[in-house]
Structure 1
């Protein structure tokens, strides 16, 4: 079987992905106002866009932590569109001090995260997870809530924490930003390839932090992971695509 790239976590979608060799785009949301846009894109590109709906731990462009009231508008839409969704996401925790300065912020984020995990379990969907400055508690929460299918995107925790996630069956994805330096090489080395996926997180987390990330850059993270692991880019492309399809079984693709 011929495998193309699977971008497991992205915030934009258009024909430029197909030109970059991306066969499937797992499109996540951050706020409820984005839900319709992602669903519309899936209608336009049904063989390319695989929609996820979710509330990011930071809202209003990162100005505040999510709170339980934000779920009021989102929850009915999860159920309304359950048949179209391939996952719940982007959800998770962000304990960066300047983003979630108070204990109340962290409690609100955790409450909303757990509620969305509950929805994912009820709908039998995997989750697409954010874990900035909260790697250990995010993985602990996933395990405590009985989650078995999760992608921890742009993971930057310690290798020992990642391996706890590996033991739980979770997958980890890395964007082109990992090519900027070697800070996460040890992490990538220790996570088995069978637990790794590719992402661009476009338009953020590109090779140059000051430039818009583009779909074609998915090949950069593929090549970097291959170099770190001493494998061919073709092997990494194929295995990560297989991993993605295992994690997101509802993905429609012509691979």
Structure 2
């Protein structure tokens, strides 16, 4: 069976997790990078990583949607205290997609300040970063570069190709999701990303549409779908694509 890794899963948001992990393992998913989004999420992700038999690698961070002053300070302390357990810092970044942020400089600055704090932690502990960059692709790249971040993956990249080229030329990675089945922007981004710079993921339990127009809540097992879509776009046999994605993940996250 082909060995798979889901490099971006919100396991703390999944009900009946034991069943989900069992199905994923049976589908060939041997490793899962479990990302976090706030203080409670970080705690739960760490607990899951220690308590489950599956190989779950925790990443700690505050998502730009989850900013509150009290919880943010508490979470920053948690991340610092538990960085030794982390495979990465994430999911962190910026989100300017909604108009209430897009047109409000102060809200952007709040996100940027938090992002920079978390980039500083990543640099201090020599950890890669998992980046949410929707509508803020250029600022995310600029801040990573300005803060001397060596390893970053731009999760579910669907932004402009000119910015993508800057990201790739700097040595950063991009990840593909099941949205490849319907998103022209995501398809174009992955088409323009060399295999050496690509990871695969699900962002589970996010809801995706399938090719028939119906939908499903993702599980880590659906990284097999992402692999199929990547192998089709890259015109590469599935087994060869899987081997390359696993090799890339081990290199990026520095694990065996």
Q: TM-score, structure 1 length as denominator?
A: 0.89
Contact 1:135 1:157 in 2 (8 A): yes
Q: Which runs of 4+ in 1 moved over 6 A?
A: none
Deviation of 1:72 after TM superposition, in Å, equals: 1.0
1:26 match: 33
2:247 match: 242
Give yes or no for the alignment of 1:79 onto 2:80.
Answer: yes
1:142 match: 144
Deviation of 1:215 after TM superposition, in Å, equals: 2.2
| Rounded Cα–Cα distance in structure 2 between residues aligned with 1:75 and 1:146 | 20
2:14 match: none
1:100 match: 101
Instruction: Pick closer, same or farther for the CA change 1:230–1:173 going to 2, 3 Å.
Output: same
Matches within 5 A, 1:106-145: 106-145=108-147
Q: Tell which deviates more after alignment, 103-112 or 70-79.
A: 70-79
| Equivalent of residue 151 in structure 1, options 150, 153, 175 | 153
Structure in which a larger fraction of residues adopt helix: 2
| Equivalent of residue 48 in structure 2, options 27, 33, 41 | 41
2:180 match: 178
Number of residue equivalences: 244
| Rounded Cα–Cα distance in structure 2 between residues aligned with 1:239 and 1:223 | 13
| Rounded Cα–Cα distance in structure 1 between residues aligned with 2:82 and 2:235 | 42
2:205 alignment partner, SS class: coil
Contact 2:157 2:189 in 1 (8 A): no
1:183 alignment partner, SS class: helix
| Rounded Cα–Cα distance in structure 2 between residues aligned with 1:147 and 1:68 | 25
| Rounded Cα–Cα distance in structure 2 between residues aligned with 1:107 and 1:3 | 44
2:208 alignment partner, SS class: coil
| Rounded Cα–Cα distance in structure 1 between residues aligned with 2:4 and 2:208 | 17
Aligned CA-pair RMSD: 1.9
Contact 2:181 2:229 in 1 (8 A): yes
Contact 1:3 1:241 in 2 (8 A): no
1:203 alignment partner, SS class: coil
1:222 match: 227
Q: TM-score, structure 2 length as denominator?
A: 0.89
Instruction: Pick closer, same or farther for the CA change 1:230–1:145 going to 2, 3 Å.
Output: same
Contact 2:2 2:28 in 1 (8 A): no
1:169 alignment partner, SS class: coil
| Equivalent of residue 59 in structure 2, options 35, 52, 64 | 52
1:7 match: 6
Contact 1:31 1:56 in 2 (8 A): yes
| Rounded Cα–Cα distance in structure 1 between residues aligned with 2:220 and 2:27 | 6
| Rounded Cα–Cα distance in structure 1 between residues aligned with 2:242 and 2:208 | 18
Q: Tell which deviates more after alignment, 235-244 or 107-116.
A: 235-244
2:218 match: 213
